[in-house]
Every structure is written in C-alpha cells, then in structure tokens.
Amino acid sequence: MAITTCVFDAYGTLFDVAAAARLAAGEPGRGDLATVWPKLAEDWRAKQLQYTWLRAVMGQHCDFWQVTRDGLDWALEASGLSDPDLRERLLALYWELPAYPEVPAMLAALKAQGLATAILSNGTPEMLAAAVRSAGIGDSLDAVLSVETIGVYKPDARVYGLVGAHFGTTPDQVLFVSSNGWDAAAAAGYGFRVAWANRSGQPIDRLPGQPHHILTDLTTIPALAGA
C-alpha cells in the first residue's frame, strides 16, 4: 500500500536533545559544564528514556517533563555538578531545542508531495508545542500526538495506535521515523514502514521488529515516502 502519512518521533529525531547541554556549556561562567557536557547530555538522555520504560513496567506513569527533570538530576549528580542555576538553565533550554538542520526542508518537501505529517512522542503537549514553535516547523505538521492522551510510554502498542485513530490509516500506509533503535523496532513490529535515523552509527537492536531503512539523517525521507 502507498504511504500516505509520515510520522516522526520528536526528541533525537527532529530535535537535537544534546543542544541544551552544548549551548549552556558555551555560555560565560560555565567552565565546569564545558568539560563534561557531552557525558552529561548522554547520561541525561539515557536516564530520561530508562525512567519512561521503568515507570511503564511499574505502572507508575508521570509525564515526560517529570522524567526529564529526574534524568537531569541524576546526570548532574553523576557529573559532580550541584549548581541550581545551571539546572534551571538546562531545563529552560530543553524547551527551546533546535531542529536538526535538514528538518525544515524535509518536512516542507513531504507537504509538497501531498503527504500528511505528524509527531508521535513521549513528550507532553506543552513541551512539544514549545519545541515545534521554537524550531518554526508548525506549518509543516498536520498533528502533534502525545502519549499523555493514553498515559503510557512507547514502546507500548497503544501509542502507535494513536496514529491510525487520528488519521484513519492502516499501519502499512504509515512511514514512521525515529532515531531510537528500540522505537524503530517496536514500530516495525506494530506494522509501520520504518526508517531508523541512526545518527550515531549504532548497531541494530536485537529485537523482533526490524527497520526497513537505515539512514544517517532525514534528508532522504521524501524520496522514501514517495517511492
């Protein structure tokens, strides 16, 4: 079946999650962060995701802004940083994450092809609205879907079901794009056509579902969707 709808994970796929730590590290007076920001950004992201999975398994859901703050607190302690001002600055920057450079033109090309576009994310509606606005990509999106409408995180199949419920599509009409290998695998298992944006060159995850395309960025998504 032809692709009618392109759906994107948000954080790490459209938006650069390392940008908050990188930008803060370049500000005056941030010498302590400047030496450790890559590790802090990696720890922050890892704990953020781990807490979504663990809360889902434990049946103790909280929203993504809470796990984002909890993950940052762990990462700051692991890096030996205890500056409350730095914590608040990093959290503020997370609401203004930039899109990756190829994203605006890629989304515009999909719309020019007549395809529906959407975000499907663990993020809260408020976080996603802020990121979309900051990146200036709202005009190229038909929907921004958040797990908060059902209260469970990816990779629960109910999350992927939000796409069909909104657009009236069958899974094989959807091209799903994520930078997370586990997300790509789960979406493929659900029945989506899947492109894994493997920006960091990681090995493929040993999970039941496998992505149909492995990319280094999102530049070729319009060609894949139209093929």
* Active-site residue set: 9
DSSP for the chain?
----EEEE--BTTTB-TTHHHHHHHTSTT-HHHHTTHHHHHHHHHHHHHHHHHHHHHHT----HHHHHHHHHHHHHHHTT---HHHHHHHHHHHTTPPBPTTHHHHHHHHHHTT-EEEEEESS-HHHHHHHHHHHT-GGG-SEEEEGGGTT--TTSHHHHHHHHHHH---GGGEEEEES-HHHHHHHHHHT-EEEEE-TT-PPPP-SS---SEEESSSTTHHHHHH-
Distance CA 220, CA 215 (A): 8
